[in-house]
Amino acid sequence: MGESEKIWSISEVNGCVREIIENSLLPIWVGGEVGNLNIHRSGHVYMTLKDARTQIRAVFFGGADQARRMNLQAGMAVEAYGKLTVYEARGEYQISLKSIRPLGLGELQRKFEELKSKLASEGLFDQERKKTLPLLPGRIGVVTSPGGAAIRDFLQIINRRFPNINIKIYPAAVQGKGAEKKLAAGIEFFNRSCPVDVIVLTRGGGSLEDLWPFNEEVLARAVAVSGIPVISAVGHEIDFTISDFVADLRAPTPSAAAELVIGRQEEFSETLEYHKRRMRHSLELTYSKLSRRFEAAAKSYVFREPLHLLREKQQKLDELSRNMESSAVSLLDEHRRKLEELSRNLKDCSRNTRNQLNTRLEQLSGRLYAMSPAAVLQRGYAVITDPETGKVVRSPKVPAGKNLTALVAEGILNISAVDGKEIDFAKSGFPDLNAPTGKSG
């Protein structure tokens, strides 16, 4: 052996192996069967986990309570979550567990989360749809196993808090295949055939598999559509089921449900007595105030001399009547004066308008006459027409000897045409009758 070769101690080897193992692997889930099992009084659990070919040691520090709740036993198939470690004192590696559950619980948990998410998206968990529990229910309906510890605890507390209250129990299986349908039938029974003021859906604690009927959709929807408020009290305080989220109120235990569903009888009695005293005091105070008002009213002048009040009102009524008549007469006179003034103004306006229109008419008549053919004829002009056609003759090109008619100012002349020729009025010195700006001569 060379001088450079190092001799390792067993502790160094185990420490090195521990460092390699613990720093190389993240926490993992492993599945297997429980072999040797020791739930120590220290609160720790020591066991082996095995499959068909091999095994591994496991330790669950502080896991005794969880092991007892799930009734952990040798031979049970489980799923465990933890980290590989090395127990240096023995040179053994093991799994240090953080959680343990029955085999298949992971699939149940997945189904639980999926249904929870689905119903939440539909609004079945919304606070707005929760119904208010009655303060003092006259009749309580309970859906549970009649032989379970849950109903015994529930009845014991109810009888202690409020004896002789009316309780109806619908017997139903609370675990096992098909239990969810029987539980849902109980909810429907109270809504359909046996009206109660509140329904308590309850059972004691158990594993996730035992409580699974309370995680089924058929029961959740029965609770959601119930017209009667529902309290869900399933398992222990740490247990949550789908029915807890859908119900109008969740109670952590059956005993807590009994305390929530109804108060103590003596508390109600004390409350009633308190309100009774307040009501009596309020009535006495009101009576005292009304008595003083009555006495003051009885001493008033109105009650001693009622006719005086009547005469005073009559006098006021007469005064109002006179004022009304005076106001009406004044208003009528004022309107009459305004009407007369408007009538005069209307006549003056009508007369002025008529004079203006007559003057305008005379002006237009003069202008119209000046523009009329008769005025033109008065100035010595004549209108030659063809009696056969009735048209005005404008051209001298008329057959010789043709009979024509001449319209003059004082009558009609029958004339005969001779050979005519066109005349240049500009050269002849005669005015051009066809010119638009020409003047008559």
Residue with structure tokens 């109804």?
262
pLDDT at position 421: 62
> SS3 string of 37-102?
EEECCCCCEEEEEECCCCEEEEEECCCHHHHHHCCCCCCCEEEEEEEEEEECCCCEEEEEEEEEEE
What predicted TM-score, i.e. pTM, was given to this entire model? 0.46
In this predicted model, what pLDDT tens digit does every residue of 377-388 receive, in sequence order? 777 788 888 888
pLDDT at position 88: 79
pLDDT at position 20: 77
- Structure tokens of 421? 């020729």
pLDDT at position 399: 83
d(CA 406, CA 416): 10
Beta bridge partners of 87: 92
What residues have CB less than 8 Å from 110, skipping those under 6 apart?
Answer: none
pLDDT at position 389: 85
pLDDT at position 437: 45
pLDDT at position 106: 63
pLDDT at position 383: 86
What is the Cβ-side half-sphere exposure of residue 294, based on CA atoms within 13 angstroms? 6
Q: Are 100 and 67 in contact (CB under 8 A)?
A: yes
Q: What is the mean pLDDT of each run of 10 residues along the chain (441 residues)?
A: 71 79 81 88 91 88 88 85 86 87 73 89 92 89 91 88 88 91 95 94 84 92 94 84 93 88 66 82 88 77 67 82 86 89 89 90 83 77 85 82 84 80 53 49 34
In this predicted model, what pLDDT tens digit does every residue of 255-310 receive, in sequence order? 888 888 886 556 666 677 778 888 988 988 888 888 888 877 777 766 666 666 67
CB atoms within 10 A of CB 160: 11
- Name the CA dihedral angle for 250, 113, 212, 207, rounded to a multiple of 10 degrees: -90
pLDDT at position 425: 47
d(CA 160, CA 183): 27
What is the Cβ-side half-sphere exposure of residue 295, based on CA atoms within 13 angstroms? 6
Q: Are 247 and 232 in contact (CB under 8 A)?
A: yes
- Structure tokens of 256? 């807590």
Q: Report the relative pairing of strands 139-144 and 45-50 from DSSP bridges.
A: unpaired
pLDDT at position 420: 64
Please choose, from the candidates 78, 99, 89, the residue with its C-alpha nearest in 3D space to the C-alpha of residue 15.
Answer: 89
